[in-house]
């Protein structure tokens, strides 16, 4: 290419820089905020955050278990084909029907917020953005620190049960957990931080009772469980008892968002196996240690940062996806 003057050369440099920036902005594997932005609806739906917040507050005040349900919903949505609200779609073989998602709570809250937004600003706000805001509001309503949520996601068109196999599982070894998060552009610190969302909510006995009685066919408990904690868990989940009984993941803090979860991990009081391993593996232990003894201030700050990062996994923007009229079905 012939460039005949310094002015044209400067213009060419600017053009190339713009093209490179545009190309970099296409990727949303791990999410650095590309494709979404704070204040996305400022001009066309300025009340979006207050409407979602009101719907979440009403639901959580009536039933505190809704808060962890909405937080888990966002996590489970983003890990499957990106943060595109595909988890909300009804059907016989959709994401919502799978084991990891079948016990999630709060779908009706998203539907209520969407209905109000369709009245206030029809066809503008995506269900994916509602899920992201509801997750943040659930943390705040349980005592956590707020953060600004970048918006601008569009809703996905596909929801398949078969796509949920990469969701982190309750018995994943640390190496598997690290790989699953790495596949989404999230590092070990993100892993330890985001799993800290277990500071609120519960788990059913069926996902951890195997640790209490015959762990790895030893006819005994998982040695990582504090012996003083074992009788408490066995009383809540007796051998052969109700497999669906719910037990707090963060003992003593089931409805309060904070860093006590990590204190429990250090003290051998991690309820599910994948959580307990965060302390026993040195790759993750150092990050757990970083959240100890700071009154939750560092954890709260890091959690918001990690949620923003996770919230940009596989984001659909521009001509991708759609804005659903209702969250349970594609247009």
Known binding-site residue numbers for heme b: 198
Residue 177 has pLDDT above 50, yes or no: yes
Contact 161/97 with Cβ under 8 angstroms?
yes
The pLDDT, as a whole number, for residue 27 is 35
Tens of pLDDT, residue by residue over 263-274, are 999 999 999 999
Cross-strand pairs, 203: 247
Supply the mean pLDDT for the chain: 90
The pLDDT, as a whole number, for residue 107 is 97
Tally Cβ neighbours within 10 Å of residue 65.
16
Known binding-site residue numbers for Ca(2+): 77, 80, 82, 84, 86, 95, 199, 250
Tens of pLDDT, residue by residue over 63-83, are 999 999 999 999 999 999 999
Contact 199/249 with Cβ under 8 angstroms?
yes
Catalytic residue among 41, 52, 72, 76: 76
The pLDDT, as a whole number, for residue 319 is 83
Tens of pLDDT, residue by residue over 277-325, are 999 999 999 999 999 976 678 999 999 999 999 999 999 988 899 999 9
Residue 9 has pLDDT above 70, yes or no: no
Residue 17 has pLDDT above 90, yes or no: no
Confidence class of residue 29 from pLDDT cuts 50, 70 and 90? Answer: very low
What does the alpha-carbon distance between residue 30 and residue 3 come to, in Å, rounded to a whole number? 39
Q: What is the DSSP letter of 155?
A: B
The pLDDT, as a whole number, for residue 297 is 86
Return phi, psi of residue 121, to 5°.
-155, 80
Tally Cβ neighbours within 10 Å of residue 17.
10
Q: Is the dihedral of CA 232, 253, 205, 222 positive or negative?
A: negative
Average pLDDT over residues 189-208: 97
Residue-range domains of the chain with CATH = 48-166 (1.10.520.10), 174-308 (1.10.420.10)
Q: What percent of the chain has pLDDT over 90?
A: 85
Known binding-site residue numbers for substrate: 168
What does the alpha-carbon distance between residue 270 and residue 328 come to, in Å, rounded to a whole number? 35
Contact 294/259 with Cβ under 8 angstroms?
yes
Known binding-site residue numbers: 77, 80, 82, 84, 86, 95, 168, 198-199, 250
Comparing C-alpha atoms, which of 257, 201, 262, 252 is closest to residue 70? 201
Residue 170 has pLDDT above 50, yes or no: yes
Return phi, psi of residue 202, to 5°.
-135, 170
Tens of pLDDT, residue by residue over 93-119, are 999 999 889 889 999 999 999 999 999
Contact 206/244 with Cβ under 8 angstroms?
yes
256 is catalytic: no
């Amino acid at each position: 290419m012939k460039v005949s003057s310094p002015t044209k050369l400067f213009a060419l440099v600017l053009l190339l820089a713009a093209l490179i920036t545009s190309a970099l902005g296409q990727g949303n594997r791990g999410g650095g905020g590309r494709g979404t932005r704070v204040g996305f609806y400022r001009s066309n739906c300025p009340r979006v955050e207050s409407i979602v917040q009101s719907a979440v507050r009403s639901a959580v005040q009536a039933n505190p278990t809704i808060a962890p349900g909405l937080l888990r919903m966002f996590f489970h949505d983003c890990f499957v084909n990106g943060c595109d609200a595909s988890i909300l779609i009804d059907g016989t073989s959709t994401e919502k029907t799978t084991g990891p998602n079948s016990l999630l709570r709060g779908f009706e809250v998203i539907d209520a917020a969407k209905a109000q937004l369709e009245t206030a600003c029809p066809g503008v706000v995506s269900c994916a953005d509602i899920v992201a805001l509801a997750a943040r509001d659930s943390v705040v309503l349980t005592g956590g620190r707020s953060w600004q949520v970048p918006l601008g996601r569009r809703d996905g068109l596909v929801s398949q049960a078969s796509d949920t196999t990469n969701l982190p599982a309750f018995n994943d070894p640390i190496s598997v957990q690290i790989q699953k998060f790495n596949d989404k552009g999230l590092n070990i610190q993100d892993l330890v931080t985001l799993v800290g969302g277990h500071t609120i909510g519960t788990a059913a006995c069926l996902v951890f009772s195997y640790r209490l009685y015959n762990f790895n066919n030893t006819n005994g408990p998982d040695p990582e469980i504090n012996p003083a904690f074992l009788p408490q868990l066995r009383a809540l989940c007796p051998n052969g008892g109700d497999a669906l009984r719910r037990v707090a993941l963060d003992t003593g803090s089931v409805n309060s968002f904070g860093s006590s979860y990590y204190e429990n991990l250090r003290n051998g009081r991690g309820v599910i196996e994948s959580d307990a391993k965060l302390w026993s593996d040195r790759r993750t232990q150092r990050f757990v240690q970083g959240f100890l003894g700071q009154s939750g201030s560092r954890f709260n700050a890091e959690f918001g940062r990690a949620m923003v990062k996770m919230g940009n996994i596989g984001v659909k923007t521009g001509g991708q996806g759609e804005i659903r009229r209702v969250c349970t079905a594609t247009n």
